[in-house]
Amino acid sequence: SNWAHEKLIYRFSLLVCMIFYIRGNPCSESIKSCIPSEDGMQLVCHKGITDPYTNGSKVVKYLLLCNWPDVDFDPHSVLKNFPVLEEISILYGPITKINSSFKAGMMLRKIVMNHLLMKNIPSGTFAGLQHINTLDLRYNKLEFIDESVIPFIPNVKVFLTGNEWKCNSDIGWILSPNVKETIIDLSSLSCSNYDRKPLFLIMQILKNLWDQCPTICTCIMDHVAWSYPVNVSLIPFHTVNCSYRGLTEFPSQIPSNTTTLFLQGNKIKSLEPLATNQLFYQLNDVYLDNNNIKSLNALEGSNWIFTFRILSLRHNFISEIPTYALDNAFGKNVNLARVLLGHNPWQCDCTFVLSFQQLITKHHNIFVDKNDIRCISDDGSSILMIENEARATFCKEPIIKFHMLTALDILNITLASLIVLILGKLLYDYLIFKKSGKLPWVVMKIF
């Protein structure tokens, strides 16, 4: 009857409490031994099962195994010798692997495995247990558990707190509607790979991330933080990697809360989406190395240029940039950390290079690859590092070249000289006439 069953559970719990009171922790016994209750229905074994119980017992219903000595545990070899066993508790010990299923314990109602070193439990370990109502796997090292391990049958209670859960797609099943009814401590589970944040909330964020991720890209959640100043919600920080996908433009969709975008090795030509598309306003770090970008002019005056953290444009086709506009933006951008512009075909133009040198010098901490910012000399004979080259290298004084005078040059010079001479004589005769009233002799001869 239910009353008799509850009575046996009470007596077993009382036995454990008595041992705890007399000896402290019921699993602190240092000598390999098995201690039965007076009626023989409860058995506490330390460091393995000893005589006279090595071949089992047909009366033991409650078995507590403390400090199991081996890293492997074979439920079948134990349970087959205890045919009426209803509860088994395995506490402490170096167990890392379960070698068989618990199916041999057909009468089992409760399984407790606490404070062990298990990282995973094989599929089917608890399959076929028709009477199971409690599965306690708390305080182990579990990182992952397959959905098939959990006995999703009516009235079963599962406890999973205190493990090292790795929150990723492997445990996506935990968002299923029936899970909350079975895993009693679901709200207490946490993710070891996300600073012990609540597992259920993290998995909801990850599901949204996977649903919004472009099919040709990979998306991960780098970090998640509580909202400030009140911890009422979690704020994720995502990274989207669309590198080497043959893209000719920015992806049309990225998940919300994306802060880092990798687009290296594509065929993208324009940075305009960073300035005009609200999807990309939240981006902090953008990597566009090895694309077909020729200009940064699209970013001039945009809001993004005043808020970004990292921009990498190495190995593109940029020959010049709006240095004064960038200088203004960099001075106002409190988030700015790095700008990478190396291995672009910079032009060795005097005016541009001088302003570019000033920009690099003024913001030398952010141009982390300035040694790779070089231009090819006019004659193509050398590659010049823009930051360190002297002004005279780029800004050469014009050289005046003299040529032999041609016949036409001599004629033009002669005619010009005669014109100047005639105009001079005309001016001289006019002044004489004004002063003395005497006409020039040529005029007098004519008239």
CATH code of the domain in which 343 resides:
3.80.10.10
Is residue 242 classed as helix, strand or coil in its secondary structure?
Answer: coil
Per 3-state DSSP, what percentage of the chain is helix, strand, and coil (rounded to 5)? 30, 15, 50
Q: Is the pLDDT of residue 4 over 60?
A: no
Task: Please indicate, yes or no, whether residues 42 and 71 belong to a single structural domain of this protein.
Answer: yes
Mean pLDDT of the region 185-212: 96
Q: Is the pLDDT of residue 322 over 80?
A: yes
Q: What is the distance, to the nearest Å, from the Cα of residue 230 to the centroid of all Cα atoms in its chain?
A: 25
Q: Are 102 and 78 in contact (CB under 8 A)?
A: no
Task: Please indicate, yes or no, whether residues 413 and 312 belong to a single structural domain of this protein.
Answer: no
Number of domains in the chain: 3
Mean pLDDT of the region 72-84: 94
Task: Please indicate, yes or no, whether residues 318 and 349 belong to a single structural domain of this protein.
Answer: yes
Is residue 191 classed as helix, strand or coil in its secondary structure?
Answer: strand
Mean pLDDT of the region 406-435: 79
pLDDT at 237: 96
Mean pLDDT of the region 213-234: 91
Mean pLDDT of the region 39-61: 92
Task: Please indicate, yes or no, whether residues 56 and 189 belong to a single structural domain of this protein.
Answer: yes
Mean pLDDT of the region 364-385: 82
Q: Is the pLDDT of residue 267 over 70?
A: yes
Buried b (16+ CB within 10 A) or exposed e, 73-98: bebeebbebbeebbbbbbbbbebbeb
Evaluate whether residue 362 is within a structural domain.
Answer: yes
- State the pLDDT confidence band at 447, using cuts at 50, 70 and 90: low
Evaluate whether residue 14 is within a structural domain.
Answer: no
Tens digits of residue pLDDT in 362-371: 999 999 999 9
Tens digits of residue pLDDT in 282-311: 999 999 999 999 999 999 989 999 999 999
Return the H-helix or E-strand segment holding 431.
helix 407-436
Q: Is the pLDDT of residue 14 over 60?
A: no
Buried b (16+ CB within 10 A) or exposed e, 434-443: eeeeeeeeee
pLDDT at 71: 96
Tens digits of residue pLDDT in 101-158: 999 988 999 999 999 999 999 999 999 899 999 999 999 999 999 999 998 888 899 9
Helix residue spans in 340-399 (DSSP H) = 350-362, 391-394
Task: Please indicate, yes or no, whether residues 173 and 223 belong to a single structural domain of this protein.
Answer: no
pLDDT at 399: 47
Count CB neighbours of 155 within 10 A.
Answer: 9
Q: Are 331 and 276 in contact (CB under 8 A)?
A: no
pLDDT at 23: 44
Task: Please indicate, yes or no, whether residues 190 and 257 belong to a single structural domain of this protein.
Answer: no
pLDDT at 15: 53
Tell me the residue range of the domain where 411 lies.
407-445
Mean pLDDT of the region 58-85: 94
**Which distant-in-sequence residues (6+ apart) come within 8 Å of 203 by Cβ?**
167, 171, 172, 174, 175
Helices vs strands, H then E, count in the chain? 10, 19
In the chain, how long is the greatest CA-to-CA distance?
Answer: 165
The pTM is what?
Answer: 0.76
Mean pLDDT of the region 251-263: 96
Task: Please indicate, yes or no, whether residues 195 and 291 belong to a single structural domain of this protein.
Answer: no
How far CA 349 is from CA of 300, 388, 393, in Å, comes to 21, 15, 10
Return the H-helix or E-strand segment holding 417.
helix 407-436
pLDDT at 8: 52
Evaluate whether residue 171 is within a structural domain.
Answer: yes
Task: Please indicate, yes or no, whether residues 87 and 235 belong to a single structural domain of this protein.
Answer: no
Give the rounded percent of residues in the chain with a pLDDT score beyond 70: 88
Q: What dihedral angle (degrees, nearest 10) is formed by the CA atoms of 65, 68, 72, 74? A: -30
**What's the mean per-residue pLDDT of the chain?**
87
Evaluate whether residue 50 is within a structural domain.
Answer: yes
Mean pLDDT of the region 36-58: 92
Task: Please indicate, yes or no, whether residues 232 and 293 belong to a single structural domain of this protein.
Answer: yes
Mean pLDDT of the region 58-67: 94
Task: Please indicate, yes or no, whether residues 183 and 226 belong to a single structural domain of this protein.
Answer: no
Tens digits of residue pLDDT in 395-409: 776 544 545 667 787
Give the rounded percent of residues in the chain with a pLDDT score beyond 90: 68
